[in-house]
């Protein structure tokens, strides 16, 4: 037994040992730090840290090299590679470009060769509408659904390859084949170009009685290359031959593009009009009227004479130091087709704002050709307000990799637009809204693939409604400023504004392609009425762009497109606001069905308000009728029906 202490406690010498001490935790551990590791262990940890840093550096270098390679493939090879492309994506894109078929599971095989096309002379104007080239077909197949685009090198290049094509160039590859086939057909065999079923449809179209219908003037556009970059008329005799054909068809007048990049090309406020003066003199000989289009954008197409039209050279010189004068997408890529609306009030163009530059150009035109307007030769003046001369953001540039039916991208990332967005968000009291949507996809995305445009997406959230109201509001403000000065410069002349027809994704809830173009027109909102109220304020004639069967040959369920639905919404909204409406056909009319569709639009049947178009414009890229791209008799009859 253990001996007891006199006070009753056990003897310490015989008591059990105390329990082992535990490692202190919490704040107690700070007062008793652990012993430092041995010197050898410390050196090993430092070496491992250095190796980690070296590994990170090598990875960053590898990613930088990969990013530059992918950017080069996208920019110079036009490969639609995903934002986080890997080696499989690169191999698949290269294989597709070489004519191979690559399935999503990796199955790869050589595509079957297409039969060669017959000589162009074997095709009439109507059989040629279904032609496709193997290269064009393969290029369409190579653009997989939802292929995003990553950032490209943001350094400005002022060469011609950077100028984005217009929206109409979506079908330029297919259209070039058609133009070749139409070019060799003559007026003698044009009457034989229809089959029996087409002749029956033709007789049914012209069976209607148009003798008591309103008179609608018909205008045909002249080719772009008749004026060269030095503002000289290239071939006066060819122009006379073209006008002679038009006069024989009783066409009322012609449409002439006056390019800012030609007239004010070299020096600010030094305008050269000599070529247009000669052209208007020839048109006056044939007693035709002229609709002038003041084109403040560039064009990537070559007309006859090899003319490639860009913005003025002095503007491109400014852009070498300040790239933010151009529209910019989320990846920082600049669109050199037209100036950003963010500089409308910024004095960045040699001491002038964007609005002042437009006004000076319009005033110079009016002073130069005032007598022709007073004589009635110039019947209307169309003011270009955006990409391709249309009132829209350049949201679908083909040079950036866009392909139909991609939704496009918002164009609001230049410094001046971002400054405006920040001010709007600050005024609203939500500074964190001063940003573009980060889930809106890429140029070739589909609506349902994005978090912003999908059904129930962020486009209908509080932030989405704020951003889209601001984005479309910039468009409306640009219209108001330019047209206020246009009505002042032209002193009562008829002014025309062109509205695009962005009909793909129209049968979805968000109308994504319209939203990126600046028209806030989802299914629960009329996005065209605010624009038309502004146009009515300035007494503008509205021009609606319509596309022919050639453009809609790709229509399918994937695009949720509805060209007729959009056209009727736009026209009815314009008529409701008391606007005069006209139509421009951007592609040649090649069959009777197209003529019938235009007549139904120009003179709606059973309309109690008896609405009709104010005029019809026929626009194409090649000289009108000299290429024999339409049946003369059908076109002549169509003009008679339009005239009533």
Enzyme catalytic residues:
390, 584
Contact 599/204 with Cβ under 8 angstroms?
A: no
Judge contact between 522 and 510, C-beta under 8 A. yes
Q: Which of 535, 504, 536, 502 is nearest to 518 (CA)?
A: 502
Which residue reads 């996208």 in tokens? 74
- 319/158 Cα distance (integer angstroms): 9
Q: What is the DSSP letter of 323?
A: G
Q: Are 640 and 215 in contact (CB under 8 A)?
A: no
Helix (H), strand (E), coil (C) string for 218-279: EEEECCHHHECCCCCECCHHHHHHHHHHHHHCCCCEEEEEEEHHHHCCCCCCCCCCHHHHHH
Handedness of CA 544, 561, 391, 571 (dihedral sign): positive
C-alpha–C-alpha distance, residues 369 and 221, integer Å: 19
| Strand residue runs (E) in 412-568 | 495-499, 541-546
Tokens of 563: 């060209």
- With tokens 């409306």, the residue in question is 476
Question: 174 near 136, Cβ under 8 Å?
Answer: yes
Q: In 504-631, which residue ranges form alpha helices assigned H by DSSP? A: 512-517, 529-537, 563-576, 592-602
Give the distance, in angstroms, between the CA of residue 68 and the centroid of all CA atoms in the same chain: 26
Q: What backbone torsions phi and psi does residue 580 show, to the nearest 5 degrees?
A: -80, 140
Q: How many residues does the chain have?
A: 644
Phi/psi at 442 (5° precision): -130, -175
What string of DSSP letters covers 15-26? SPPPPPPPPP-T
- Reference 643, options 198, 253, 291; nearest CA is 253
CA dist., res. 349 & res. 116, Å (int): 52
* Residue 147: closest CA among 332, 407, 436: 407
Helix (H, G, I), strand (E, B) or coil at 288: coil
- Cβ(613)–Cβ(583) below 8 Å: yes
């Amino acid at each position: 037994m253990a001996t007891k202490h006199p006070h009753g406690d056990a003897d310490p010498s015989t008591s059990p040992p105390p329990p082992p001490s535990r490692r202190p935790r919490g704040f107690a551990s700070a007062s008793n730090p652990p012993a430092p590791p041995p010197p050898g262990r410390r050196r090993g940890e430092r070496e491992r840290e250095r190796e980690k840093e070296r590994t990170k550096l090598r990875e960053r270098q590898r990613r930088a090299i990969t990013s530059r390679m992918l950017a080069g493939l996208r920019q110079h090879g036009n490969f639609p590679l995903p934002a986080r492309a890997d080696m499989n994506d690169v191999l698949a894109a290269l294989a597709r470009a070489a004519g191979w078929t690559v399935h999503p599971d990796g199955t790869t095989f050589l595509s079957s060769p297409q039969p060669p096309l017959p000589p162009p002379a074997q095709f009439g104007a109507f059989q040629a509408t279904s032609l496709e080239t193997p290269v064009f077909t393969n290029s369409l197949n190579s653009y997989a659904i939802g292929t995003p685009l990553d950032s490209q090198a943001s350094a400005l290049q002022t060469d011609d390859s950077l100028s984005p094509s217009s929206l109409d160039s979506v079908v330029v590859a297919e259209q070039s084949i058609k133009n070749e086939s139409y070019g060799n057909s003559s007026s003698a065999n044009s009457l034989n170009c229809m089959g029996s079923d087409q002749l029956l449809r033709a007789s049914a179209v012209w069976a209607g009685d148009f003798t008591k219908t309103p008179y609608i003037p018909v205008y045909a556009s002249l080719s772009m290359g008749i004026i060269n970059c030095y503002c000289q008329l290239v071939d006066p005799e060819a122009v006379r031959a073209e006008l002679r054909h038009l006069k024989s068809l009783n066409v009322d007048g012609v449409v002439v593009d006056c390019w800012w990049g030609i007239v004010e090309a070299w020096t600010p406020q030094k305008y050269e009009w000599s070529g247009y003066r000669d052209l208007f003199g020839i048109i006056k000989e044939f007693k035709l009227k002229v609709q002038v289009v003041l084109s403040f954008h560039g064009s990537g197409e070559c007309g006859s004479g090899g003319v490639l039209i860009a913005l003025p050279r002095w503007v491109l010189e400014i852009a070498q130091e300040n790239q933010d004068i151009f529209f910019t997408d989320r990846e920082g890529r600049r669109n050199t087709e037209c100036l950003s609306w963010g500089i409308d009030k910024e004095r960045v163009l040699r001491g002038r704002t964007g609005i002042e530059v437009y006004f000076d150009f319009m005033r110079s035109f009016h002073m130069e050709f005032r007598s022709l307007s007073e004589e009635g030769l110039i019947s209307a003046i169309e003011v270009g307000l955006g990409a391709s001369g249309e009132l829209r953001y350049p949201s679908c540039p083909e040079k950036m990799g866009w392909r139909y039916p991609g939704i496009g991208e918002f164009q609001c990332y230049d410094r001046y637009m971002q400054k405006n967005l920040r001010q709007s968000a600050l005024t609203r009291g939500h500074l964190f809204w001063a940003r573009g949507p980060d889930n809106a996809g890429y140029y070739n995305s589909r609506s349902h693939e994005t978090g912003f445009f999908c059904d129930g997406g962020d486009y209908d959230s509080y932030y989405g409604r704020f951003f889209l109201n601001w984005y479309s509001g910039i468009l409306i403000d640009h219209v108001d400023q330019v047209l206020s000065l246009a009505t002042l410069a032209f002193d009562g002349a008829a002014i025309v504004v062109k509205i695009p027809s962005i009909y793909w994704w129209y049968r979805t809830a968000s109308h994504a392609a319209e939203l990126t173009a600046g028209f806030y027109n989802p299914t629960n909102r009329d996005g065209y009425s605010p624009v038309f109220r502004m146009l009515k304020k300035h007494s503008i004639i509205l021009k609606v762009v319509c596309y022919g069967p050639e453009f809609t040959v790709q229509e399918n369920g994937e695009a949720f497109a509805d060209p007729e639905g959009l056209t009727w919404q736009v026209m009815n909204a314009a008529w409701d606001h008391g606007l005069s409406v006209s139509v421009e056909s951007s592609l040649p009319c090649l069959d009777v069905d197209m003529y019938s569709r235009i007549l139904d639009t120009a003179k709606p049947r059973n309309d109690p308000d008896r609405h009709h178009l104010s005029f019809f414009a026929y626009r194409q890229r090649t000289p009108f009728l000299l290429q024999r791209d339409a049946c003369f008799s059908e076109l002549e009859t169509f003009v008679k029906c339009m005239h009533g």
